A and B are shown apart, each in its own frame.
Chain A
Amino acid sequence: MSPVSPPVSRIGGQRAMAAIEARRMARHPVFLLGVALGFGVLGLYFVLVTDETGVRVVLTLPLLGAFYIGLTTVIAAALLTRSTEVADEAVATAPGTEAGRTLALAAAGVPPFVAGLVFTVSLVVAAQIVGVAPQEWWFGTLPDWQVWSIVLMCPVACLDGALLGVLTGRWLRFRGASAIVVVALVAITLLGQAPLLETGSSEWRLWVPWAIFSTGDNADGTQTLIAGNPAAYLGYLLALGVLAILGAMWHDPTVRTPRFRAVVAAVALAALALFALAVTTGNHDNRFSDPIPSRVTS
């Protein structure tokens, strides 16, 4: 028996490890539960929820995908991150670094992203087929790029859920940490934006990690399109995701080089800039749709 040396390629190694992590996420029971719940509830909405004229009430549903798939993904990704730590002594004496393993774990966000995308496409296609009230297509007043930015928030939120889970798994070692993070995320999202939605400063809600752009039906049958630039906000969400994975990599002391610190600073600045763009551009005021008569409740 003679020693066998594999060819060394850092990129090839990262790709192989990323593929393993993506496969593990795709098979993770908590993630699969979230996907089943998301699509199950989506199906039920299409079957059961109609207004008085029989039109489906569906276009506020992108939130469902982010809720069921995105939030369960936080827990699944945290568990995946922690799971290999039980073998840490053997794993840590392999040539790869913890930061490299963390970066590979970012690929665990691919299955949730794809699931969120399929969820959104299913929603849009189904809405086209079964029909929606014309006022509901985000009022027909938004340019397409803004509409698609809103539509894409579901898969991006699912991706960010995985990245937040990796961050949680690396830094919070106590039992139930990921569940606490999920509760905190929901609380911050609700409390951070709800008081601002109907005010003249509604665009400042966009600091939260899952801001809504549409209220769904109001009591008078209208719907509100809330101020802000959805495309810039989508970029802000992506930057937060990148910051989450960089924060997880920061756990490895060997990675904290001046170059890495510069990257973290650059992404943080980009996030701030995108947040500023989201707040200061796009729709400056809330807009209201024409009433959908069948949705008037008062």
Chain B
Amino acid sequence: MSVPTSTVSLTGVGKRYGRTVALADVDLTFDRGVTGLLGPNGAGKTTLLRIVATSIAAESGEVRLLGRDPHRSHGEVTAVRRQLGYLPQELGYPSDMTAFGFVEYVAVLKEWNDREDRAREVRRVLGVVGLADQATVRISKLSGGQRRRVGLAQALIGNPQLVVLDEPTTGLDPAQRADLRRALSELGNSSAVLLSTHQTEDVAALCERVVVLAGGTIRFDGAVTDLVATAVGRVWLADEPGEDALVSWRTGTGRHRVVGGTPAPGADLAEPTLEDAYLLMLGPDLRPAHATS
């Protein structure tokens, strides 16, 4: 099955909560592959993800998902939801259910009606997230990271064409994150995956494209390498913390990594990371929260 062009197309999308502007005039299109969404808390990431996941409606602008307008009719939104997987930022679980039971419940809602097919699919997605051995354990007895993976498993049922993941790596240890990256990169070959995270290394490892959101508007939309390139020549390793640096910290080698500002005498240019570029991109917005150390 081929993914239609412009799997997701948002044009001039806006959303307010009372007087607070969550999203303002956002234009965004993306297709097959993994698109990373970065931004500070309150940037509007979760609102954007909820709109793409048909959980809430945009107040203005046009939303097209899988070639359909989800606001047009119940039939349209249902057709989108048949090809949608969504992991919300905060997902609770019924206390009486096992991992298998919960994912099976969602599978039924996703119209996996044949019992054997459904059981096979549930076992598959639990295997993808590394929970095959915990399938019969009550969710209330699982760790936070394991619960997060149960949530991820339900989003992967049926290999949906559009997958929306809000902070999927929260609570996962490095090995689990590596497994998840492998699963998501494989999923990105056939599906459009929108991934919101605070973990820039996940975006650097997984995404071809990154969108930086701040204050409800898009600050950057392009290739990960292009965002990293914006930081070239602005990151140093120095013996002293940078006086006017955006951020600087003492590394394990004893030298200071200085991001932004003017280089101190004897500073050496360092290869920037996605995180450096992200911090520089948001610069003034981050200053109150990231003091120079």
Pairwise interchain contact B110-A3, C-beta atoms closer than 8 A: no
Instruction: Name the B residues within 8 Å of A6 (CB-CB).
Output: 110-114, 117-118, 121, 158
Pairwise interchain contact A4-B159, C-beta atoms closer than 8 A: yes
Pairwise interchain contact A93-B108, C-beta atoms closer than 8 A: no
How many angstroms between the C-alpha atoms of A273 and B151 in the bound complex? 48
B74 vs chain A, min Cβ distance (A)? 6
The reply on A28 being an interface residue by CB < 8 A is: yes
Instruction: Name the B residues within 8 Å of A95 (CB-CB).
Output: 78, 81-82, 109-111
How many angstroms between the C-alpha atoms of A94 and B109 in the bound complex? 6
Pairwise interchain contact B96-A24, C-beta atoms closer than 8 A: yes
Q: Given that A6-B113, A16-B115, A20-B108 are contacting pairs, would A90 and B190 also be in contact in the complex, using a CB cutoff of 8 Å?
A: no
How many angstroms between the C-alpha atoms of A209 and B88 in the bound complex? 42
A45 vs chain B, min Cβ distance (A)? 32
The reply on B54 being an interface residue by CB < 8 A is: yes
Is the contact region of chain B dominated by helix, strand, or loop, or is it mixed? loop
How many angstroms between the C-alpha atoms of A24 and B101 in the bound complex? 10
Q: Given that A1-B189, A6-B114, A12-B113 are contacting pairs, would A254 and B105 also be in contact in the complex, using a CB cutoff of 8 Å?
A: no
Q: Name which of B106, B109, B113, B186 has the most chain A CB atoms within 10 A of its CB.
A: B109
Other-chain contact of B104, A7, A13, A20, A93 (Cβ < 8 Å): A20
Report the count of interface residues on A (CB-CB < 8 A).
32
Q: Given that A2-B159, A3-B191, A4-B159 are contacting pairs, would A87 and B108 also be in contact in the complex, using a CB cutoff of 8 Å?
A: no
The reply on B95 being an interface residue by CB < 8 A is: yes
Instruction: Name the A residues within 8 Å of B91 (CB-CB).
Output: 87, 89-90
The reply on A256 being an interface residue by CB < 8 A is: no
How many angstroms between the C-alpha atoms of A189 and B263 in the bound complex? 82
Pairwise interchain contact A8-B94, C-beta atoms closer than 8 A: no
The reply on A44 being an interface residue by CB < 8 A is: no
Q: How large is the interface on B (under 10, 10 to 19, 20 to 34, 35 or more residues)?
A: 35 or more
Pairwise interchain contact B109-A2, C-beta atoms closer than 8 A: no
Pairwise interchain contact A87-B92, C-beta atoms closer than 8 A: yes
A24 vs chain B, min Cβ distance (A)? 6
How many angstroms between the C-alpha atoms of A176 and B102 in the bound complex? 25
A19 vs chain B, min Cβ distance (A)? 9
Pairwise interchain contact A20-B105, C-beta atoms closer than 8 A: yes
Instruction: Name the A residues within 8 Å of B159 (CB-CB).
Output: 1-4
A9 vs chain B, min Cβ distance (A)? 5
Instruction: Name the A residues within 8 Å of B154 (CB-CB).
Output: 90
The reply on A297 being an interface residue by CB < 8 A is: no
**B-facing residues in A172-208 (Cβ within 8 Å):** none
* Minimum CB distance partner of B186 in chain A: A1
Instruction: Name the A residues within 8 Å of B155 (CB-CB).
Output: 90
Other-chain contact of A17, B55, B87, B101, B108 (Cβ < 8 Å): B108
The reply on A53 being an interface residue by CB < 8 A is: no
Pairwise interchain contact A13-B113, C-beta atoms closer than 8 A: yes
Instruction: Name the B residues within 8 Å of A15 (CB-CB).
Output: 113
Pairwise interchain contact A3-B106, C-beta atoms closer than 8 A: no
Instruction: Name the B residues within 8 Å of A83 (CB-CB).
Output: 94-96
Per-residue contact bits, chain A 14-28, to B (CB 8 Å; 1 contact, 0 not) = 011100100010011
* Minimum CB distance partner of B83 in chain A: A3
The reply on B53 being an interface residue by CB < 8 A is: yes
Instruction: Name the A residues within 8 Å of B109 (CB-CB).
Output: 13, 17, 91, 94-96, 101
How many angstroms between the C-alpha atoms of A20 and B50 in the bound complex? 28
Pairwise interchain contact B87-A93, C-beta atoms closer than 8 A: no
* Minimum CB distance partner of A91 in chain B: B109
The reply on A128 being an interface residue by CB < 8 A is: no
Q: Can you name 18 A-B pairs with beta carbons within 8 Å? A: A2-B159, A5-B83, A5-B158, A6-B114, A12-B113, A15-B113, A16-B112, A17-B108, A20-B104, A24-B96, A86-B92, A86-B94, A87-B102, A90-B106, A92-B55, A93-B86, A94-B106, A96-B110
**Chain B residues within 8 Å of A, Cβ to Cβ:** 1, 50, 53-55, 74, 78, 81-84, 86-88, 90-97, 101-102, 104-106, 108-115, 117-118, 121, 151, 154-155, 158-161, 186-187, 189-191
* Extra pairs beyond A3-B83, A87-B93 (6, CB < 8 Å): A3-B161, A4-B158, A5-B83, A6-B110, A6-B117, A6-B158
User: 6 smallest A-B Cβ distances: which pairs?
Assistant: A86-B92, A12-B113, A94-B109, A83-B94, A89-B88, A96-B109
